[in-house]
Copies of this chain bind each other. A is one copy, B any other.
Amino acid sequence: MSGNTFGKLFAVTNFGESHGPAIGCVIDGCPPGLELSEADIQPDLDRRKPGTSRHVTQRQEDDRVEILSGVYEGKTTGTALCLLIRNTDQRSKDYSEIGQKFRPGHADYTYFVKYGVRDWRGSGRASARETANRVAAGAIARKVVPNMRVRGALVQIGPHKIDRANWRWDEVDNNPFFCPDPKAVDVWAKFLDEVRKAGSSTGAVIEVVADGVPPGLGAPVYGKLDQDIASGLMSINAVKGVEIGAGFAAAAMSGQESADEMRNRPAGWPEFKSNNAGGILGGISTGQPIVARFAVKPTSSILTPRETVDKKGKNTEVSVKGRHDPCVGIRAVPIGEAMLAIVLADHYLRHRAQTGKG
C-alpha cells in the first residue's frame, strides 16, 4: 500500500538500487497453475538490456533473472513470486564527480531534499535500472489474460515522427529503435549519432498496444482502466505525458469525428468503425485494441556543461561522463509494454472478482 507496490490484485512490489547488490520484485496475487520459468522472462529482459547497440548505454548488465519463490514444478503456485536480478557492473567511479553536484533535470536533487540522503552511485533508487523489474513482472502479467498480446513501438525520436501509413509490426524487431516504419530507421540513426556527438540527448514517444483484451475491464469512477494505464506509464522514469487513443488530438475534434461508430457483427461483440477511444469508454475496455502513448524527456545526464548548484547550495556547473543513453525512450518500449500488461492483468482479476466473468 506504500509507494513501491503497483496494482491491487496483481501487485508488483519493486526494490533495489542501481549499484547495490541486486534489484528485484515480488509479485503477489498471480493465479496458480501458469507455466513459468526464467526462460519466459529472459527474452523481455534482453529486449530492454543495455549495450545492445551504439544507440544505448554501454553499461554491461547480464540481467539474469532468478525466480526465488512461487513456482513449483514449472507452474505458479498462487503464492508470492520473487524475482531477483543481481547487479554485476557497478562501476561507481564514473559518478565520483557528481556526488557533490545536482544534475539539472535529475531526481538526485529531489531525493536529497526529501530524504536527506545522497546515494549518488548511479542515482541509487532513482536510476532507471529498476525498470528491469517492471519488464520481468510484465512478462508474467502477459500470461494472466488469456489470448492477450501486448506490443510496443517507438513512434517519435526528437522531432522525427514515423509515418503511420508505413506501420509494420514485423519491422519493430529489425532495427535498434523498435521502429515500425522502415523508412524512419536511417533518419533516426543519423539523428541519434549527431545527438551523441554533440554531447546531448533527445526525447521520444512510445506507443503500446494490447490486442485480445476482453470488454468489461476497468470500473467507475476511480478504478478506470485508462486511469491505471496513465498511472503505470507515468511512473516510468522520465515520462512527461500519457495519452489514450486519439489523446490530445481529441481536443481538436468534433463530436462526430471523435465518437467511434458501432456496427453489428454477425457473431460476437459489435465492431467499431474507428478507435479514437483507444479501446476504452468510461474507463472500461470496449473489446477493441487498447492503445496508449507516452512521451519520454531527454535524459538529464549529458556531456554538455550545465548550470547548477552543489550540495551546499553554491553555484557551479556539471557535466556527466557516465555511460548514458542518448535517448532513454528507446529502451522504454519493453518497459511500457510491461506496465500495460501489468495493468491489464490486474484489471482482469478485478473484473473476474466482481462479475465472475473472464
Contact = CB atoms under 8 A, between A and B. Distances in A.
A222 B356 contact: no
Nearest to A66: B21
A4 B80 contact: yes
Contact of A32 (B253, B309, B354): B354
Given A29-B354, A281-B109, A251 B216 contact: no
A107 B220 CA distance: 10
Contacts of A250: 203, 240-241, 295-298
Contact of A3 (B29, B70, B200, B299): B29
Contact of A295 (B17, B203, B218, B243): B243
Interface string A8-25: 111111111100111110
A265 to B, nearest CB: 8
A4 B240 contact: no
A77 interface: yes
Interface in A219-242: 219-224, 226-235, 237, 239-242
B355 A353 contact: no
Contacts of A351: 114
A28 B2 contact: yes
A329 interface: yes
A254 B200 contact: yes
A323 to B, nearest CB: 15
A114 B222 contact: no
A212 interface: no
Interface string A197-212: 0101111110000000
Nearest to A130: B221
Interface residues of A, number: 158
A79 interface: yes
Contacts of A253: 158, 202-203, 297-298
Interface stretch (A47-55, A98-106, A169-177): A98-106
Given A105-B258, A220-B79, A28 B9 contact: no
A314 interface: yes
B1 A114 contact: no
Nearest to A307: B261
Contacts of A309: 262-264, 270
Nearest to A261: B307
A318 to B, nearest CB: 10
Given A240-B246, A262-B307, A252 B159 contact: yes
A78 to B, nearest CB: 4
A167 interface: no
A187 interface: no
A244 interface: yes
Given A11-B1, A230-B231, A22 B300 contact: no
A48 to B, nearest CB: 15
Nearest to A357: B114
Nearest to A277: B105
A269 B102 CA distance: 13
9 contacts: A1-B8, A3-B350, A32-B115, A77-B119, A113-B284, A114-B284, A255-B302, A349-B353, A353-B353
Given A5-B28, A248-B295, 11 more contacts: A1-B8, A4-B26, A4-B222, A5-B5, A108-B282, A110-B216, A205-B251, A234-B242, A258-B300, A349-B354, A350-B353
